[in-house]
Chains A and B, each alone.
Chain A
Amino acid sequence: MSIVLSDISKKFGDFCALDHINLEIPQGELLALLGPSGCGKTTLLRIIAGLERADTGKVLFNGQDMTDEDVRNRGIGFVFQHYALFRHMTVFDNVAFGLRFKPAKLRPSEAIIRKNVKELLALVHLDWLADRYPDQLSGGQRQRIALARALAVEPAVLLLDEPFGALDASVRKELRLWLRHLHQNLHVTTIFVTHDQEEAMEVASEIVVVNKGKVEQKGTPSKIYDEPHNDFVSRFVGQTNVFHLEKDDAHWLKSAGIVFDNPQGVTAHVRPHNISVEKQINGTESAIVLKDWQHLGAIIRLELVKDSANGAGKTIYAEMPNDAFRHSALKRGDKVSLFIKHAHWFN
C-alpha cells in the first residue's frame, strides 16, 4: 500500500505539532520517521493510523482518501510504544483479538484463527509462550507479541511507535535486525518512529528527518548521512564538528593552521572521520594538541584542542581506524596537523 500525506497540519492548543507536511511513501518501503522528542513524529504516525485527526490536509492510501476514515477501517497494524498488550488476556488471546472481533461475515472460523495465531507466534519465535500473560514476559518478548498481534489482521500498513525505545541495549540491537529481515519477508509497507539516528540508519531503507513539525529531509540512510540538506540534519544524524567561518572561528582556525581550500558557505560541518590527523615532527607550525583519545572498538576517537586555549577553547573530534592510530604512534600531548578531507557547507 502506498501512502500519500498532503499538507498535513496539526495544532495542540497553541503548539504547532505538524506544519504542512507533504510526504509520499511507496508500497513496500521500510521508512523511519526520525527526529528529536516533541518534533511531531509520533503525531504524524498516529494521523496515518487514524488514531488522531489532522486539522488540515489529506491522507491517501493507494490513492484513496482515508482522511476521515475510522482507524478500524484503514487496514493498519499499530504497535504501541509500551506495547499496550491486553493485560487480562493470554498471549494467544492477544494475538487472536483482531481476528475474533471482526464482523461476523468476515470472521474466520475458530480453527483458522488458531492456525493463524500459531503461525504468527512461530513467525516471532514465541509459540511456546502462547498461554502466558503479558506480565510474565520480558520486554523483548512483549514487543514481538505486540508485533504479532498487529500482523494478525493482515494489515496493508504496519506502524510502529518507538518500537525499541523501552528495551535493553542488547535486545534492541537484536530486534532491529530481526525487524529488517521480517520486513524483507513480508514486504508490507512499514513506518516506524524513532529518536535514535543509529536505529533509523540500521533498520530503515528510507529516512524522513522531522523537526519542529516540518520535514527536514527525506532520503536513503546514506543520502541523509553523506548529503545532509541543512544544518539540522547534519547535526542530528551522526556526529559533526561545526566551524563558523565568519565568527571568532576564523581567527581561531587560522592560528591553528586549519585551512578550508574552497569555502562554499559560512558554516562548515566536518564529520570526525573526514579529519585526518598526523603527528608533527618539528612542532612549530601547529598549535593543535591531542588532549585525549578513546578506544571505541574498530575506531579511535581523538579529542583535539588548541594548545593555548587551555581547555577553554573549542574541542575538535576526529576519528581514525584502530590500526591507523597504532601506526601513527600518537600520544596524549602530541602536537598534530589536521587535514580536512571533506566538509558540508551551510549558510
Chain B
Amino acid sequence: MHAIVQPSTKPLTSNPSTTIRSALQEPLWLKITLIAIALGFIFLFLCLPLLIVLFHAFAKGVGAYWEAILQPDTLAAIKLTLLTALVTVPANTLFGIAAAWAITRFEFRGKSLLTTLIDLPFSVSPVISGVIFVLLFGMQGYFGEWLRDHDIKIVFAIPGIILATLFVTFPFVARQLIPLMQEMGNEEEEAALSLGASSWKMFFKVTLPNIKWALLYGVLLCNARAMGEFGAVSVVSGHIRGLTNTLPLHVEVSYNDYQTVGAFASASILAGLAVVTLVLKTLLEWKQGNR
C-alpha cells in the first residue's frame, strides 16, 4: 500500500508513534510519583519497624542487649521456641509430602474436599486455634478431668504449645507441594518405574529432586510461623516464665513489664529470623524460577 504523501501541517509532537508511546506508558512525573508513593509506603510500614527494633534493642548499649538475651528466662524461651519448631516442622513436612502425594498422584472421592480441609487452619483466627485445644484438654475441657487424674498436663504446658503450633502451621508444606506436583504430572515417575526403579528409588531419585526447592520453601515458611506464632500459643501457654513462654510470648511479657530493652532484644532475634527467612525465600524463589 502506498500512502499519498502530503506536506505535513501537524506539529511534530503529535505524530502517531509519539501518541502511541504516550498511550502505552505513564508520563515521567507520574512514574516518579507512583514510585515515591510505593517506596514511601514500604519504608514507613516495613523498613521503619525493622530499624525501630534494632534502635530500641541497642538503646542502652550492646552490654544491656546481651544481658537481656542471656537472662535465664530469655534463654528458656529461645530453647522452648527451638524445641517447638523441631517437633512441629518435621511432622508437618512429613504430612505435607504424604498429602501432596495422595492428592496429586491418585484419583479418589472427596479429593477436593480434602484439599479444602487442609487449608482450613489458615482461615481460623490464631486465638481460636488456641481455644479449641483448651476446650479439649483444659480443666473444663472434654479430657480435662481424665488428664488431671492421670497427672498429665497438656494445656498450660509444652504439649499444648506444640499442638497449637502444629495446627497453625499445618497447611504450609502441603500447600507448596500440591500445585507444583499437580503441574509436574507423573510422567517422570512413570518413566522411572518403566525403567525398573523401586518405589523408594523413584521417590528419592526422581520425585524429591524435582520438588526439593518447593519443599524447602514450604519448610522455611512453616518454620518461620512455628517460631513466631503468638495468638494460638498465648492462649494455651499460660505464660509461665521460664517454663511455657516461647520467644514471642517472652516479648509480650517483657514489653508489658516495661522492660523495653528486654522486649526488643528478644524481638530482634525474631526480626533477625524474619530477615533470614526473607533472604532464603528470595533465594529459593530464584532457584525455583531457574529450574
Residues of A within 8 A of B (CB): 49-51, 71-72, 76-78, 80-82, 84-89, 97-98, 101-102, 149-150, 152-153
Point out the residue from A51, A82, A89, A102 that lies within 8 Å of B194, measured CB to CB. Answer: A51
Q: Would A77 and B291 count as touching, CB distance under 8 A?
A: no
Specify which chain A residues have a CB less than 8 angstroms from the CB of B195 in the assembled complex: 97-98, 101, 149-150, 152-153
Q: Which of A71, A84, A149 has the most CB of B within 10 A?
A: A84
Q: Kindly provide the distance from the CB of B90 to the nearest chain A CB, expressed in whole angstroms.
A: 24
Tell yes or no: B243 within 8 A of A by CB.
no
**What is the count of residue pairs linking A and B with beta-carbon distances less than 8 angstroms?**
63
A97 and B187 in contact (CB under 8 A), knowing A72-B197, A87-B210, A88-B210?
no
Q: Would B196 and A84 count as touching, CB distance under 8 A?
A: no
Specify which chain B residues have a CB less than 8 angstroms from the CB of A72 in the assembled complex: 193-194, 196-198
Q: Kindly provide the distance from the CB of A108 to the nearest chain B CB, expressed in whole angstroms.
A: 13
Classify the secondary structure of B's interface with A.
helix
Q: Would A84 and B205 count as touching, CB distance under 8 A?
A: no
CA–CA, A295 and B46, complex, Å: 69
Point out the residue from B190, B197, B209, B291 that lies within 8 Å of A97, measured CB to CB. Answer: B197
Q: Would B187 and A84 count as touching, CB distance under 8 A?
A: yes
Q: Would A71 and B291 count as touching, CB distance under 8 A?
A: no
Q: Would A78 and B197 count as touching, CB distance under 8 A?
A: no
CA–CA, A182 and B207, complex, Å: 32
Point out the residue from A71, A80, A86, A150 that lies within 8 Å of B206, measured CB to CB. Answer: A86
Q: Would A49 and B194 count as touching, CB distance under 8 A?
A: yes
Q: Would A78 and B209 count as touching, CB distance under 8 A?
A: no
Specify which chain B residues have a CB less than 8 angstroms from the CB of A87 in the assembled complex: 188, 210, 291
Query: Please, could you name 20 A-B residue pairs with CB atoms under 8 Å apart, sorted by A?
Result: A51-B194, A71-B190, A72-B194, A72-B196, A72-B197, A77-B194, A80-B187, A80-B191, A82-B187, A84-B190, A86-B188, A86-B191, A86-B209, A89-B209, A97-B192, A101-B197, A101-B205, A149-B195, A152-B195, A153-B196
Tell yes or no: B201 within 8 A of A by CB.
yes
Specify which chain B residues have a CB less than 8 angstroms from the CB of A97 in the assembled complex: 192, 195, 197, 205
Q: Kindly provide the distance from the CB of A331 to the nearest chain B CB, expressed in whole angstroms.
A: 31
Specify which chain B residues have a CB less than 8 angstroms from the CB of A51 in the assembled complex: 190, 193-194
The 4 closest A-B pairs by CB, nearest first: A98-B195, A84-B187, A84-B191, A78-B194
